[in-house]
Amino acid sequence: MYIITDKCRFCDTCITVCPAEAIERTYPIYRINRSLCIECGVCKENCSFDAIIFI
Ligand code: SF4
Ligand code: SF4
């Protein structure tokens, strides 16, 4: 599953590119809603801060 780490700089790019609207602007760190995520990896590919990891 994909996870947003504390390297996130809240640029919102991942939210824009996610085809499943699975990323939520939660505080203090954005969260990927696992029930919506289709694990396409597009968010990770587009994060300029390397803040999204797959575990
Ligand atoms: S693209 Fe990366 S830095 Fe930007 S909001 Fe998403 S996880 Fe954070
Ligand atoms: S892996 Fe795909 S569906 Fe899941 S949060 Fe990232 S962009 Fe959205």
Quote the ligand 1 centre to 12 CA distance (angstroms): 6
Greatest CA span in the chain, whole angstroms?
A: 25
Task: Look at the chain and report how many structural domains it folds into.
Answer: 1
Domain coverage including residue 23: 2-54
pLDDT in tens, 16-31: 999 999 999 999 999 9
CATH of the domain at 38: 3.30.70.20
DSSP 3-state of 2: strand
pLDDT of residue 40: 98
pLDDT of residue 10: 98
Which of 5, 7, 11, 33 should be mutated for ligand 1, with most atoms under 8 A from CB? 11
Report percent pLDDT > 90 for the chain.
100
pLDDT in tens, 2-12: 999 999 999 99
pLDDT of residue 33: 98
- Asked whether 50 lines ligand 1 (CB < 6 A), one says no
Which of 2, 4, 14 should be mutated for ligand 2, with most atoms under 8 A from CB? 2
